[in-house]
Chain A
């Protein structure tokens, strides 16, 4: 993961935390939304030639997706965003399955799991193929 990408991710994370707001958090959420709709934050940061989308679970786990900005008109962008959302729900699912394994460390450590990595790579591949 390149330095430029790290920079973009950190900037997006800052924006995410801004949107989250003071405790109890989840400041971007509108009333009465449930489930994965409530966890979806949306566009965090359009930067250079990419757009970063965010997602945060009830257990404060954050997922950020960096997408190459190719879509020109709003409708195709909307379609892309729903695809990104689906991608994030899948990644969330993989994360939950990773966490359930009692041999995996909890908390803020790096996830070392071929199953997780393959699962996420698969999701990304599927997303890229539906462009």
Chain B
């Protein structure tokens, strides 16, 4: 693809001319290319199904690790001037820990998601015992997928490994080790709905 005469995706005011802008199409092309590269570099050796599954898993975890690195580093920048409110005084320790985890996840849903996807998470659910479900009904990177195609579905699920890593990386930097998985919620026409499940270790 040639250079894109692209729309900037910065969400801040246009007065600040020093702010770096990222081109949306370039980012999406890059992600697609990364997906291809990761598949190729984990290419299966023999033709049996087991090694195909193994190769797919290796590719997914490679992509997830990339996401982890990006998420971790981005979190350092975004939390540079942030403090998470909730005072621990007067609460029992388990409650205080749960409250601080909730603060961290809320930071993820708002500021972090805003920075990466220019919108916030649409729905946050928790069981207050270390499990969180984050739903995004319109994930930026999936919006251009053709509806109702099996190939696109598969690609979407593969691509979602990256945001999973982003979430895991950001939480890890805040001192919260977790396992992050995701579900593709697409219903045919809307190919960009997904949910992320965070289970704190």
A interface residues (Cβ-Cβ under 8 A, vs B):
21-27, 29, 31, 33-36, 38-39, 57-61, 92-93, 95-96, 99-100, 102, 106
Contacts and interface: CB of A to CB of B under 8 A. Distances in A.
Contact of A58 (B69, B70, B84): B84
Interface residues of B, number: 26
A102 B73 CA distance: 8
A23 B88 CA distance: 9
B93 interface: yes
B7 interface: no
A23 B101 CA distance: 11
A99 B76 contact: yes
A21 B93 CA distance: 11
25 contacts: A24-B99, A24-B100, A25-B175, A26-B88, A27-B88, A33-B83, A34-B83, A36-B81, A39-B83, A57-B79, A57-B80, A58-B79, A58-B83, A59-B173, A93-B80, A96-B76, A96-B77, A99-B73, A99-B77, A100-B74, A100-B76, A100-B77, A102-B70, A102-B73, A106-B73
Contacts of B99: 24
A23 B79 contact: no
Contacts of B69: 102, 106
Interface in B58-111: 69-70, 72-77, 79-84, 87-89, 93, 96-97, 99-101
Q: Which 8 A-B pairs have the closest CB atoms?
A: A24-B100, A38-B83, A58-B79, A99-B76, A59-B173, A35-B81, A23-B97, A60-B175
A37 B77 CA distance: 17
Contacts of A33: 83
A39 to B, nearest CB: 7
Contacts of B88: 21, 24, 26-27
A59 B83 contact: no
Nearest to B101: A24
B83 A35 contact: yes
A26 B174 CA distance: 13
Given A24-B96, A24-B97, A24-B100, A92 B80 contact: yes
B82 A58 contact: yes
Interface in B144-197: 173-175
Given A25-B175, A96-B76, 7 more contacts: A23-B97, A36-B81, A38-B83, A59-B76, A96-B77, A99-B73, A100-B74
B146 to A, nearest CB: 32
B87 A96 contact: no
A95 B80 CA distance: 10
Contact of A96 (B80, B84, B89, B93): B80
Contacts of A96: 76-77, 80
